[in-house]
Amino acid sequence: MTFKAVEIAKDVYWVGAIDWPLSDFHGYTTYRGSTYNAYLVVGDEVILVDTVKKHLFKEMVKRIASVIPLEKIDYVISNHAEMDHSGALVELLKYAKPKAIIASQMGAKNLKMQLHNLPEITVVKDGEEKILGGIKFKFIETRMLHWPDSMFTWLPEREILFSQDAFGMHYAVSKIFVDENDRHTVEWEMAYYYANILMPYSNLVLKLLERVEALGIKPKIIASDHGPIFRGNDVTWAIQLYRKFALQEPSKRAIIVYDTMWGSTELMAKAIADGIVSEKVEAVLLPLSKTKRSDVATEILYSGAIIVGSPTINNTLFPSLADVLTYLFGLRPQNKIGAVFGSYGWSGEATKQLVEYLEKMKIPIIGEVKCQFVPDDEKLRECFELGVKVARELKNICGEKQNG
Amino acid sequence: MGEKRYVCSVCGYVYDPAKGDPNNNIPPGTKFEDLPDSWVCPVCGASKDQFIEE
Ligand SMILES: [Fe+2]
Ligand SMILES: [Fe+2]
């Protein structure tokens, strides 16, 4: 039979679906597709943890059916109400008649507003424990990581943590464990996912990691809702990576995010980069003609400075900059410094608008260079100096951090 | 002392008048009732009416 379950631990099966062709996840460019992970725990009773996207319902069902008939499912736990994990629930309920659907308080509320005609949902409190099928389940609310409804399900006796989107990545794989896949790709996809999904809640991530430790939760397996599963030493590795991401410590790396009409703003970008590099600080140019907004998010996670440049078109900044800055504003990057630049023909409003965006994001602005039409050598020198200034400030900040 | 604290019903954030919300220009000592109507939960963005007394 096609589409089998994969046993990830004794009595615990992966029964998710692989979305190989996925290229766009609500505006997040997925270079490697994704997986929606659902898990089946088979004790004296049968528990399903999360489901998959609606259109992959059949794939999930076949994987479940390779272990037990669908009607044997006694409980469905919804760790996260978002439709990539709850979408197949309504369809599932046509074939399975669980005794209870279990969710957090906000989960119950959010599920009902997305999937209509759901039966009554059993609400579990933060920290509540239940014995299901002879196995102990503990539910830990992780509000705003990354939705109000999000929670962890922890199996203390089995030392398995079902972490929904936390520790996830959009990475379609046929080998289910992290240690069976390319580590650099995993790390990159984790950072990419963190930057785009969890970055705004970094403070909460740090608090949650502390809480997990305080509760004495030391998983042998972290099974998230997207991408491969962590086991053994990879569990500690994943937690350490998350701590690093969440701290958002500044690094000696500056990104230059810009667009250009006739090449002038681009010339300025290159001169600024030259100035940065002259101070032995890394500069990364991100022309928006070819850079996806979700990539800018990862780049800013890894950087200490963001320098934004835009030409002025009809008295306004370039739309691509408005797109990316609107997105970044929502992601609330911390501990960055900024600068702005841009070429214009006659009015030059764009740089002022860029300043407003950065101020709204509470990013201190180190400097600004405006240029009417094409930059000459003197103007390029000014750009170079801006780069030097940003680089020196970065070294200052990073140095202070290291000494302190 | 002892001004009432309010909890965000969406995300669980607690507004403590003793601390205020300095990141959003709300100085310590600001009562919940005195927060501007434009003030939103600093964690999830929910509006003031989503808060309940602790
Ligand atoms: Fe999600
Ligand atoms: Fe998800």
Q: Dig out the tokens for A371 from the structure.
A: 């240029």
| Nearest alpha carbon to residue A373 among A263, A270, A298, A299 | A263
The answer to whether A285 and A273 are in contact (CB under 8 A) is yes
Among residues B48, B1, B5, which one has the least CA distance to residue B24? B48
Cβ–Cβ contact B18 with A under 8 A:
no
Q: Measured between CB atoms, does B40 come within 8 Å of chain A?
A: no
Q: Which residues contact B34 (CB under 8 A, 6 or more apart)?
A: none
The rounded distance, in Å, linking the Cα atoms of A393 and A305 is: 9
Which segments of A11-150 are extended strands (E)?
12-14, 17-19, 24-25, 28-29, 34-36, 39-42, 46-49, 73-77, 100-103, 121-123, 129-132, 135-141
Dihedral angle of Cα A72, A73, A74, A79, to the nearest 10 degrees:
170
Does the beta carbon of B11 lie under 8 angstroms from any beta carbon of chain A? yes
Q: DSSP letter string over A225-265?
A: SSSPBEETHHHHHHHHHHHHHHH----SEEEEEE--SSSHH
Q: Reply yes or no on whether the pLDDT at A348 is more than 60.
A: yes
b/e burial code for range A111-141 (CB count within 10 A of at least 16 → b): beeebeebeebbebeeeeebebeebebbbbb
Average pLDDT on A104-111 reads 96
At residue A122, φ and ψ (nearest 5 deg) are -85, 120
- In CATH, what number does A253-397 get? 3.40.50.360
Mean pLDDT of the A77-101 span = 97
pTM of the model: 0.95
Q: What is the DSSP letter of B23?
A: G
Measured between alpha carbons, how far is A93 from A70 in angstroms, rounded to an integer? 10
A26 labelled catalytic: yes
pLDDT tens for B7-51 read 999 998 999 999 999 989 999 999 999 999 999 999 999 999 999
Dig out the tokens for B26 from the structure.
Answer: 């709300």
Pairing relationship of beta strands A221-223 and A160-162 according to DSSP bridges? parallel
Q: How many angstroms separate the alpha carbon of residue A195 from the centre of ligand 2?
A: 14
pLDDT at A3: 96
Q: Decide if A146 is catalytic.
A: yes
A51 token code pair: 């489901």
Question: Which residues are paired to B7 by β-bridges?
Answer: B14, B52
Q: What is the pLDDT of residues A73-88, one digit of tens each?
A: 999 999 999 999 999 9
**Chain centroid offset of residue A367 CA:** 30
- Cβ atoms of residues A95 and A70 within 8 Å: yes
Query: Quick count: other Cβ atoms within 10 Å of Cβ A225?
Result: 27
Q: Where are the domains of chain A?
A: 6-247, 253-397
| Chain A residues within 8 angstroms (CB to CB) of chain B | 106, 141, 143-144, 148, 201, 204, 362
Task: Give me the pLDDT at residue B48, please.
Answer: 95
Domain A6-247: give its CATH architecture.
Answer: 4-Layer Sandwich (3.60)
Report helix, strand or coil for A134. Answer: coil
CA distance A79 to A50: 6
* Residue A402, pLDDT above cutoff 70: no
What residues of A are in contact with residue B43 (Cβ under 8 Å)? 144, 201, 204
Confidence at A404, pLDDT banded by 50, 70, 90: very low
Which two tokens mark A377? 């050598």
So what's the pLDDT on residue A251?
Answer: 96
Question: Residue A80 CA: which ligand is closest?
Answer: 1
Q: Which of the 8 DSSP states describes residue B47?
A: B
Span A305-321, pLDDT tens digits: 999 999 999 999 999 99
Q: For A42-67, what is the mean pLDDT?
A: 98
* Contact (Cβ atoms closer than 8 angstroms) between residue A373 and residue A343: yes
CA dihedral angle for residue A85, residue A86, residue A87, residue A92, rounded to 10 degrees: 120
Answer yes or no: do B10 and A106 touch at CB < 8 A.
Answer: yes
Strand partners, A25: A28
Place of tokens 């929502």: A330
- Position A156 pLDDT exceeds 60: yes
Of A402, A66, A137, residue with least CA distance to A250 = A402
Average pLDDT value for chain B? 93
Pick the residue with more confidence: A399 or A247? A247
- CA neighbor of A105 nearest in space, from A125, A82, A81: A125
Q: How many CA atoms lie within 13 A of B13 on its CB side?
A: 25
* Selection from A290, A335, A344 nearest residue A315 by Cα: A344
**Does A141 sit within 8 Å of B11, measured CB to CB?**
no
Q: What is the pLDDT of residues A165-220, one digit of tens each?
A: 999 999 999 999 999 999 999 999 999 999 999 999 999 999 999 999 999 999 99
Q: Which of A144, A150, A198 to mutate to test the interface with B (most CBs of B within 10 A)?
A: A144
DSSP B40: B
Q: Which of A245, A259, A364 is nearest to A309 (CA)?
A: A259
